[in-house]
Structure 1
Amino acid sequence: MTDRVYPSSKPATNGAAAAGAAGANPSFPATKAQLYNATRPAYRPRPPPRHRRSCCCSCCLWTTLFILFLLLLAAIAGAVLWVLYRPHRPSFSVSSLQISQLNLTSSSQLTTKFNLTLTARNPNKKIIFFYDPVAVSVYSDGVDLGDGSLPGFTHGKKNTTTLRTTVQTTSQSVDSTTATALRSDLKNKSNLPLKIRLDTKVRVKVGGLKTKKVKVRIVCGGIKAAVPTGKAAAKATTADAKCKVDLRIKIWKWTF
């Protein structure tokens, strides 16, 4: 007899075979997920490194701390300087002012002569002032009434110095506007307002240290003058006179 071989399973039907074939060989065109692999994480650019920014911040921080440290040292040194030397500005006062001549002609020619005495005081115990020659001017409501000078001098410690000079002008031409204003002031023969201005340079010695020369201006106001009559000199009233010293002296980095 002939042996028969029976298959272990039934042959796949046409539909199943078609499905299997479709699974093994996907249809085209493929989807975007199949092309780009949707399961792969999206690309994200890396942030730039922050090393430069952190370096700049550190540099600014250390610079600020260094400046604060220098300011602290300056404050300490200034306090030590103040305790050791007690620096003060010199003071000036008008001791007397005599008007020997004050005449304005009809042709606007001005002739004046003033005899001025000033007192300069140095209140410092450890500071010396060295003055260059001093330029002196007398004014009345902005009108220059005369010019003079003082020789240079040394202002020692706790010293009081008396300064005398003559301020004058001869036949100085005055413009019409200035002449009109001055004639109006001269009508009040006992109340002519005057100002005295001194300009010079000064060097300061503090202990063993000498500063550079600095400009100084002294302005004295509050002076009332009488217009002289005849040959007798008129004396100005200086009881209310006050002098302002515009002096800015730098010692290292400190100004007083």
Structure 2
Amino acid sequence: MQDPSSRPATGYPYPYPYPNPQQPPAASTNGYPNPGAAAYPYQNHNPYYAPQPNPRAVLFRRLFIVFMAFLLILGLILFIFFLVVRPQLPDVYLNSLSVSNFNVSNNQVSGKWDLQAQIRNPNSKMSLYYDSLGCLLYYHRAPLSDTRLPPFSQGKKDQTVVNATLSVSGTYVEGRLADAIAKERGAKGSVEFDLRMGSFVTFRYGAFRRRRYVSVYCDDVPVGVPLTSGSGKMVGPAMRCKTY
């Protein structure tokens, strides 16, 4: 009689272990690789599932590249242009400044100033065109008189002499300014005035045009005005003014 405990177990063992991806496929007894141990990745051969570029993004990217290339070329052209042409601001010299009928009393100033300035175009390749030239006379940053001159042009390396007259009659000034003028006049026999000039200047080179505002500063111009006379002229030689 057969022992019931010796009956075979139900089910079947798993014929192959789970493949280890870090180990090479085991060879079979006949020398060929075990087909069950090799894993074949899934490949999608359908081209319609490949990611497609966004046409709008591609267009914007190309436009950006073209725009940056245009700016680079334009900047290079301007750099070469300014390197070759080298636009320079005009040189301004104050040749003379005289005053007549000068009087300061009761916080009022009267006088007539005549000035002559020489404006030179230092550019050898550019001509200049000046809009109406404004002239202002100051004392300690307090404006006394102003006038305007008509427009004019300058060729390459040209020089232009301009004359202007500024007058004031009984203009009120603060007491401290009147006292400062009287004190300076009595101590040195002269009074230092400040002259400002300004104009929109167009730089021309062929078809190129560049327009900018040019300011001229002639500071601390001494004008001899003794107490015994109401007339005087600039002390010393012509002076060079600053341009910005």
Question: TM-score when scaled to structure 2?
Answer: 0.67
Does the alignment pair 1:226 with 2:219?
Answer: no
CA deviation vs aligned residue, 1:10-47 (integer Å, no higher than 9, x gap):
244xxx99xx9xx99xxxxxxxxxxxxxxxxxxxxxxx
The range that moved more, 139-148 or 227-236, is 227-236
- In structure 1, distance between residues paired with 2:118 and 2:91: 8
Q: Residue 137 of structure 2 corresponds to which residue in structure 1? A: 138
1:125 aligns with 2:124: yes
* 1:188 alignment partner, SS class: helix
Deviation at 1:124, TM superposition (A): 1.7
Letter of the 2:145 counterpart: G
Aligned to 1:125, the other structure's residue is in SS state: coil
Contact 1:140/1:193, CA 8 A, preserved across alignment: yes
Change (3 A) 1:229 1:100: farther
Q: Secondary structure at the residue paired with 2:127?
A: strand
* 1:194–1:68 Cα change, 3 Å: farther
Residues 189 and 227, structure 1, Cα contact 8 Å, conserved in 2: no
Query: Residues 131 and 199 of structure 1: is their aligned pair in 2 closer, same or farther, counting only changes over 3 Å?
Result: same
Give the equivalent residue in structure 2 for 1:173: 172
Cα offset for 1:233? 3.1
d(CA) in 1 for partners of 2:234, 2:144: 15
Counterpart residue type for residue 91 of structure 2: S
Give 5+ residue unaligned stretches, structure 1: 1-6, 25-50, 247-256
Q: Using the TM superposition, give the Cα deviation of residue 81 of structure 1 relative to its aligned residue in structure 2, in angstroms.
A: 4.2
For 2:164 and 2:216, locate their aligned partners in 1 and report how far apart those are by CA, in whole Å: 15
Separation in structure 2 between the aligned mates of residue 203 and residue 161 of structure 1, nearest angstrom: 16
Letter of the 1:92 counterpart: V
Instruction: Give the CA RMSD over aligned residues.
Output: 3.3
Larger gyration radius, structure 1 or structure 2: 1
Rounded to whole Å, the distance in 2 between the matches of 1:230 and 1:177 is 22
Letter in 2 for 1:82: L
CA displacement at 1:118 relative to structure 2: 0.2
Instruction: Give the 3-state SS of the residue equivalent to 1:124 in structure 2.
Output: coil
* Equivalent residue in structure 2 for 1:217, among 215, 218, 223: 215
Give the match for residue 82 of structure 1: 83
User: C-alpha distance in 2, partners of 1:216/1:98?
Assistant: 25
Instruction: Name the counterpart of 2:102.
Output: 102
| Counterparts of 1:176 and 1:230, CA distance in 2 | 22
Distance 1:172-1:240 versus aligned 2 partners, 3 A rule: same
Q: 1:133-164, CA deviations, whole angstroms, 9 ceiling, x for partnerless residues?
A: 21211222212232222221112221111101
Q: Which residue of 1 aligns with 2:92?
A: 92
What secondary structure sits across from 1:180 in the alignment?
A: helix
Count matched residues. 197
Provide structure 2 residue ranges, at least 5 long, that are not aligned to the other structure. Answer: 12-51
Contact 1:126 1:207 in 2 (8 A): no
Letter in 1 for 2:219: G
Cα contact 2:95–2:239 (8 A) shared by 1: no
**Contact kept? 1:124, 1:157, Cα under 8 Å:** yes
The verdict on how the C-alpha distance between 1:199 and 1:81 changes in structure 2, with shifts beyond 3 A counting, is closer
State how far apart, in whole Å, the 1-side matches of 2:199 and 2:78 are.
29
- From 229, 232, 235, give the equivalent of 2:233: 235
Answer whether contact 1:93 1:243 (CA < 8 A) is retained: yes
- Aligned residue number for residue 10 of structure 1: 3
Q: What is the 5 A alignment of 1:10-29?
A: 10-12=3-5
Identity of aligned residues (%): 25
